[in-house]
Amino acid sequence: MAPIITTARLVCKDKEAREKAIAAFHKIVEFSRANEPGVLRYIVTLPLSDDAQKEIYMIEEYASAEASASHLATEPVQELIKLFGSGEVLAAAPEVFNSSVKHAKVGPKPINVSANLAVVIAHFGYEAGKVSDALGGWKSLVEYVVASESGTSGYAVGVDENGKDLTVVAVYDSWDYFDNVHLKSKGTKESRAQTREGRTGVQDVVRLRVVDGFMGKQAGGSKL
């Protein structure tokens, strides 16, 4: 069974509410790192453009749907759900995307979490039945990244259960590498042409910095 990627955007009521949420997520990070081998990564990120200081972006990867369901039942996650249900933290319901991983660059060892990492989440919409046609182009890009981009620490492409939305989660050594190497690479240019047909638009592209979490487990490497 393919791994599951979950990305979520949370908008908190204010800076103080966001700090409460980050503290709750830290408890989950510590618990999952020590006790949940099926949780392959769990990272808390904030947008680079962060004037309002209200947003959190979560990136999670599970070895299977069963691992995801088991994670939701753990005590620290239930405490987080209770906190969110109190009405004290969130300004709106979270925006959540669940995707099955189709292609990914898998590192030989976990990625060291650092605020210097450049993290990007992108969501693309496709016409019904067109995602499968585009996946060949995305596969070629992942293969290019594996072969030619040492500064791209991880690159994952996932598709939602409806087969109409595609999510990309990528990690780079720096923003300079992302802007001046990856975006200008032969692989990226070719991928744009190969994955354009049937695309209804770019729903969202967000630049993020890491504030907490882990990327990969010692036994299985990382898939971010």
Nearest to 214 by CA among 26, 77, 74: 26
Q: How many CB atoms lie within 10 A of CB 106?
A: 18
Bridge partners, residue 215, by sequence: 41, 111
pLDDT given for residue 217 in this prediction:
67
Check: pTM over 0.85? Answer yes or no: yes
Maximum pairwise Cα distance, the chain: 49
Give the position of tokens 């990914």: 104
Asked if residues 154 and 170 have their Cβ atoms less than 8 Å apart, the reply is yes
Task: Give dist(CA 121, CA 123) in Å, integer.
Answer: 7
Query: What's the pLDDT score for residue 224?
Result: 45
Residue 18: what pLDDT? 98
Q: Which pLDDT score, from 0 to 100, does residue 223 have?
A: 41
92: helix, coil or strand?
coil
Name, in order, each residue with C-beta under 8 angstroms of 9's C-beta and a sequence gap of 6 or more. 55, 56, 57, 94, 95, 206
Per-residue pLDDT averaged across 194-201, rounded?
A: 90
* pLDDT for 113: 82
Query: Domain coordinates of the chain in residue numbers?
Result: 4-215
Cα R_g (the chain), whole angstroms: 17
Are 222 and 42 within 8 A, CB to CB?
no
- Which residues, listed in sequence order, are joined to residue 204 by a DSSP beta bridge? 123
pLDDT (tens digit per residue) in 141-195: 999 999 999 999 999 999 998 888 999 999 999 999 999 999 999 999 999 999 9
Residue with tokens 């189709």: 102
The torsion of the CA quartet 147, 61, 102, 70, rounded to 10 degrees, works out to: 150
* CATH numeric code, 4-215: 3.30.70.100
| Identity at 179, one-letter amino acid code | D
